[in-house]
Amino acid sequence: MTANALTPGIVSGRLLPQDLSDNFSDLHPQLNAYEALVAADRCYFCHDAPCITACPTDINIPLFIRQISTGTPDAAAKTILTQNILGGMCARVCPTEALCEQACVREAAEGKPVRIGELQRYATDHLMAKGVHPFSRAASTGRHVAVVGAGPAGLACAHRLAMKGHDVVIYDARPKSGGLNEYGIAAYKATDGFAQAEVAWLLKIGGIRIESGKALGSEITLASLQAEFDAVFLGIGLAGVNALDVPGEDLAGVVDAVGFIAELRQASDLTAVPIGRDVVVIGGGDTGADCIDTSARQGAASITQIEIMPKPPEHENKGLTWPNWPHKLRTAPAHYEGCERDWAVLTKRAVGENGRVTALDCVRVEWVHEAGRMQMREVAGSEFQMMADLVLLAMGFLGPRKAGLLETSGVALDARGNVRADTEAYQTSAPKVFAAGDMRRGQSLVVWAIREGRQCARAVDEFLMGSSTLPR
């Protein structure tokens, strides 16, 4: 029997092949030249532009948009790539609605920001399509650096070190480079193998060799890298997602969100990838949003997202939140795909039949201020059950892997269990070992990992040469 949206359980082929292909086509196709000029013309080219401040990599956004408006997209691309060498991927995956576009003065005035992300993609794609690499490598310094992790932080660090003439070897445990960009981004955001194409383009700088299938603590050790290289950079990210930690979490159909996204990303045949009829996503971050969109595009009949925290306000209380991150309800494009959202919900157990999840037992909670902190209490009589044949765990990430790696490496950890290193020197407690990205700062955005990798490159260069001319 052919599966459809109402077929119970986790099955493949809920949609026709053409429908699946259409659903997983490019989310925001590249603007053409005319569209880019029209979009660029809306920019006010602000002095002290708030969009620059909102960008973790400090891209001069008004400058690159002006360069597009004057018909020089390749110059615009270099402006972007000088600050963010993975600007092409960031243009696709950054939550611009919460960063640069949220800060745009036209968003504040009209509720319609300049299309910064799409303009960034237009410029970077235009340059990459030519096969041009806008940076040149300095003469060899004779220094050798090991970069562990071929994700955004590692790639950003490696590129800048190579520019300065250092020889870099990148070690990565997986068969493909890119880290989160390759394995953790929803398939419709980065199509046509863009993650790998961007890595290949980045390597045009020269001086970088990638060794895939080499895991730290297994095929290679930190001690051996310290002995062989003049400096070692660690950027291996986080170990995995938080567990549900309730009875029944071992039932089939209760899976981690990152693995779910990676399976589809790496699939050669979308029709062969199964999806549940009734999908529940636990967790309200970007990964949860990607799970919602992906499930909808695969043909799930119902999708519910639950969060343990109460529903945020529709609008920010500026007096309460300034200068911190705005506290308000954030609605991603994924939430318009037919998803139900429910807040202040605690999962008590996963219910199953024949070893497979069929429902979740939940209870509503309230948060009260008690003893100087917010405390969670279950609401008596609020228990309820929701159907679920696929439960996606998107409740945040664990810290960096410790067993077989950090426990015996001499690398100290901070109070949160992340690698201890500041944002000036980025140096760990282990001799000539540096760390950046999620394994240092905790779970964050791709763009923050790029920023830290870039800044860490300067710290490594200064360590190797006594001083550095690399910008932060």
pLDDT in tens, 207-218: 999 999 999 888
Q: 20: burial class by Cβ within 10 Å (0-12, 13-18, 19+)?
A: buried
273-290: burial string, b at 16+ Cβ within 10 Å, e else: bebbbbbbbbbbbbbbbb
Give start and end residues of each alpha helix (H) in 164-315: 180-183, 194-202, 222-228, 257-266, 286-298
401-438 burial code (b ≥16 CB/10 A, e <16): bbeebbeebebebeeeebbbbeeeebbbebebbbbbbb
Q: What is the mean pLDDT of residues 154-161?
A: 98
Element (H, E) at 101: helix 100-103
The CA-based dihedral angle spanning residues 156, 160, 166, 169, taken in that order and rounded to the nearest 10 degrees: 10
Q: Are 361 and 386 in contact (CB under 8 A)?
A: no
Q: Which fold has domain 144-239+399-465?
A: FAD/NAD(P)-binding domain (3.50.50)
Is-same-fold flag (41-129; 144-239+399-465)?
no
Backbone dihedral angles phi then psi of residue 43, each to the nearest 5 degrees: -75, 135
Answer yes or no: are the C-beta atoms of 445 and 95 closer than 8 Å.
Answer: yes
Q: Which residue is listed with tokens 């002995």?
A: 227
Q: Give the C-alpha distances (Å, rounded to integers) separating 335 from 158, 340, 385, 430.
A: 36, 8, 22, 44
User: 3-state DSSP call for residue 457?
Assistant: helix
CA dist., res. 222 & res. 46, Å (int): 47
Q: Are 447 and 439 in contact (CB under 8 A)?
A: no
The DSSP element (H or E) to which 168 belongs, if any, is strand 167-172
pLDDT for residue 328: 63
Which residues fall within 8 angstroms of residue 200, CB to CB, at 6 or more apart?
A: none
DSSP state of 12: S
> Amino acid letter at 390?
L
What is the mean pLDDT of the segment spanning 384-406?
88
Backbone phi and psi for residue 316, each to the nearest 5 degrees, phi listed first: -70, 140
Answer yes or no: is pLDDT of 331 > 80: no
Structure confidence by residue, pLDDT tens digits, 402-435: 776 777 778 999 998 899 999 999 999 999 999 9
SS3 content of the chain, % helix, strand, coil (to 5): 35, 20, 45
pLDDT higher than threshold 90 for residue 161: yes
Over residues 261-288, mean pLDDT: 93
* Statement: residue 316 has pLDDT above 80: no
What integer pLDDT is reported at residue 321 of this predicted model? 53
Residue 220 exposed, middle or buried by CB count within 10 Å (0-12, 13-18, 19+) = middle
Per CATH, which fold does 41-129 belong to?
Fumarate Reductase Iron-sulfur Protein; Chain B, domain 2 (1.10.1060)
What mean pLDDT, rounded, does the chain reach? 92
**Alpha-carbon distances of 452 from 129, 185, 334, 440, rounded to whole Å:** 27, 20, 28, 9
pLDDT at 52 over 70: yes
SS3 200: helix
pLDDT at position 311 is 84
* 305 pLDDT higher than 80: yes
Integer Cα distance of 304 and 113 in angstroms = 30
Q: Is the pLDDT of residue 440 over 80?
A: yes
Domain boundaries, the chain: 10-21+241-393, 41-129, 144-239+399-465
The pLDDT, as a whole number, for residue 1 is 46
E strand or H helix at 109: helix 105-110
What is the percentage of the chain residues whose pLDDT exceeds 90? 79
Q: Which CATH class is domain 10-21+241-393?
A: alpha beta
Measured in degrees and rounded to the nearest 5, phi and psi for residue 110 equal -125, -10
Average pLDDT score over residue span 274-292: 92
pLDDT of residue 325: 53
Q: For the segment 81-139, what is each residue's pLDDT rounded down to a tens digit?
A: 999 999 999 999 998 988 999 999 999 899 999 999 999 999 999 999 999 999 999 99
